[in-house]
Amino acid sequence: MKILIDARFTRLDHHDGISRYGASLIAAAAKIADVSMLISDPRQLALLPDVPYTLINSPLSPAELFVAARVNRLGADVVVCPMQTMGSWGRKYALVLTLHDLIYYEHPAPPGFLPAPVRVLWRLYHKAFWPQRLLLNRADIVATISSTTEALMAKYRLTRRPVRIVGNAPQHGHTPRNPEAGADKTLLYMGSFMPYKNVETMILGMADLPDMTLHLLSRITAERRAELEALAPAGANIVFHNGVTDAEYEALLARTTALISLSRAEGYGLPLVEAMSHGTPVIASDIPIFREVGDDAVSYVHPDSPSEFAEAVRKLEDPAVWQARARRSLERAADFSWDGSARRLVEVAEEAVAIRNRPKGSRRKG
């Protein structure tokens, strides 16, 4: 079985969540299956594994409407796309499309890196569910990354197709920290600064944590930074890094007291799993997806309560509490791996091919 994975959503200089998900799945799946990939820019190869590839149009190009005609010539049995927007008209292969989350129905502001016309269409698209249904029902199977999203898809009846979970996972290759070694008096945030990420609550909570330093690691616009700096309490220690390398991120994770994520909505929460894989405790907002990912390893707080956030940090200053959280974090992180996700992806690909090959009258939702 030849599996073709769409890697055209890979970023050019640094991974975002979708980009890392796709690249990691390709690398793991290539170890156990015949895998090749699609790219739209040779610069994407710097962030992708060394597997065969084909250069085609951008997924944001008008040519995407007819991309299946080009893909048909590549002889793949199944195509897996880490998004739901891949063109499929006239396809002769099985197709797996992916829906990561439904965040933008509740928080419709589009990512800033999208071209202006696409941002307009983005907002219109998320005003109703029928466009999503139209996209997803073109697939043979729809993949998602969590039970939380799977349940929301069922609630809003987003697809008639079988839905299967192909989960996210942390990067490996690092040495977990020694819980006995303790931690610096620092806190980390890794994620965007879009409003639903709710960075404001952690900044306001720093008023009760004058001896802690909050490190905001991701890239940020000058305008958004000015907004957040205006909220910073007097005497609060807050550092804007405006982007860090993977090595810098791992070095900070290996020393910090906790990673913080107080989002009001989330598709998965990969930084939680990344932190736990280092043995770093996590403080997170009490929302369903974080409960699914963190289980009992995470300290949960109300997303709108700076005082609850500060109190959770203070509890971790007890060495016994911190060490217990660090050990439980490692245990929980062991439940996630890219190798496991790749095995699941291959199973889903095989199922999609089987569905594609059924007589048309026998195809049904599974």
- Which residue blocks in 30-115 are alpha helix, DSSP H? 67-72, 103-106
Q: What is the pLDDT of residue 144?
A: 96
Q: What is the pLDDT of residue 123?
A: 62
Q: Which of 355, 187, 164, 323 is nearest to 255 (CA)?
A: 187
- Angstrom distance (rounded) from CA 24 to CA 47: 10
Token couple for 80: 């897996």
Which domains does the chain show, CATH number per domain? 2-169+338-362 (3.40.50.2000), 179-333 (3.40.50.2000)
Q: What is the pLDDT of residue 125?
A: 62
Which residue has tokens 């079985």? 1
Q: What is the pLDDT of residue 206?
A: 98
- Antiparallel, parallel or unpaired: β 34-39 and 94-98: unpaired
Q: Which residues of 294-319 are buried (b: 16+ CB within 10 A; e: fewer)?
A: beebbbbbebebbebbbebbeebeee
How long, in residues, is the chain? 366
- The backbone region for 86, taken as left when phi is positive above 0, alpha when psi lies in -120 to 50, beta otherwise, is beta
pLDDT tens, per residue, the chain with 366 residues: 999 999 999 999 888 888 999 999 999 999 999 999 999 999 999 999 999 999 999 998 999 999 999 999 999 999 999 999 899 999 999 999 999 988 767 766 666 656 677 666 656 666 678 888 999 999 999 999 999 999 999 999 999 999 999 999 987 768 899 988 889 999 999 999 988 999 999 999 999 999 999 999 999 999 999 999 999 999 999 999 999 988 899 999 999 999 999 999 888 888 999 999 999 999 999 999 999 999 999 999 999 999 999 999 999 999 999 999 999 999 999 999 999 999 999 999 999 999 999 887 555 544
CB atoms within 10 A of CB 290: 23
- Angstrom distance (rounded) from CA 140 to CA 160: 10
- Angstrom distance (rounded) from CA 275 to CA 66: 41
C-alpha dihedral sign at 80, 84, 86, 89: positive
Token couple for 205: 């909570």
- Angstrom distance (rounded) from CA 67 to CA 62: 9
CB atoms within 10 A of CB 27: 17
Q: What distances in angstroms separate CA 211 from CA 183, 260, 317, one per listed residue?
A: 13, 16, 11
- Angstrom distance (rounded) from CA 5 to CA 17: 16
Q: What distances in angstroms separate CA 214 from CA 167, 179, 217, one per listed residue?
A: 29, 21, 9
Q: How far does the chain reach from its first CA to its final CA, in angstroms? A: 22
| Contact indicator for 63, 79 with CB cutoff of 8 Å | no
| Contact indicator for 201, 262 with CB cutoff of 8 Å | yes
- Angstrom distance (rounded) from CA 58 to CA 38: 10
